[in-house]
Amino acid sequence: MIEQTLVLVKPDGVQRGLIGEVIKRFEQRGLKVVALKLTKIDKDFSKKHYTEDIERRRGKKVRDLLIDYITSEPVVAIIVEGVDAIENVRKIAGETESKAAIPGTIRGDFSHVSFSHADENKIAAKNIVHTSANKEEAKAETSLWFSVDELHSYKRVEEDQVF
């Protein structure tokens, strides 16, 4: 199934010059970038991204740290499209906590801040990217970050192998 999903290169990924590396990882797997922008978001927008659901699951303190962090510097928002894109993007990104992310994944290769270290130091866990967790989240997040006019269609050579 062809799907679209959101990827954010978070402030730590932007500041470390990993934008191209992140995009490269998805493109190497045959996934297609159909929308891309560098932006700095405000707290109101970030609360639409980090919804109250995150507060219910992980607590108000974690949500507040995430909001402070994602609004601190620019992020790169990307919509990636491809066969089973949501699952494939999450595999390429790796586990959310750096110490659980295996080498070869984005987080396994570039992140190093564990949840316990972040909690101990009262900071957000810096893990390079955000990826949509499931179809519902992908649909909500892609429409939050991009208008229909910002999505672009084109054909990659790998598509001849898929269709």
pLDDT of residue 24: 98
- Distance between CA atoms of 47 and 43, rounded to whole angstroms? 6
pTM over 0.85: yes
Report the distance separating Cα 66 and Cα 82, nearest Å: 28
Name the residues annotated as catalytic.
130
- Supply the pLDDT for residue 159: 79
The domain over range 2-146 is classified in CATH as 3.30.70.141: yes
Domain boundaries, the chain: 2-146
Has residue 163 got a pLDDT over 70?
A: no
Report whether 85 contacts 6 (CB < 8 A): no
Q: What is the pLDDT of residue 162?
A: 67
The more confident residue out of 112 and 33 is 33
Separate counts of helices (H) and strands (E) for the chain? 10, 4
Q: What is the CA radius of gyration of the chain?
A: 15
Number of neighbours of residue 28 by Cβ within 10 angstroms: 9
Instruction: Quote the pLDDT of residue 53.
Output: 83
Query: Across all residues in the chain, what is the average pLDDT?
Result: 94
Is 32 a residue whose pLDDT tops 70? Answer: yes
Strands laid side by side in the 129-131 sheet: 32-39, 75-83, 2-9, 129-131
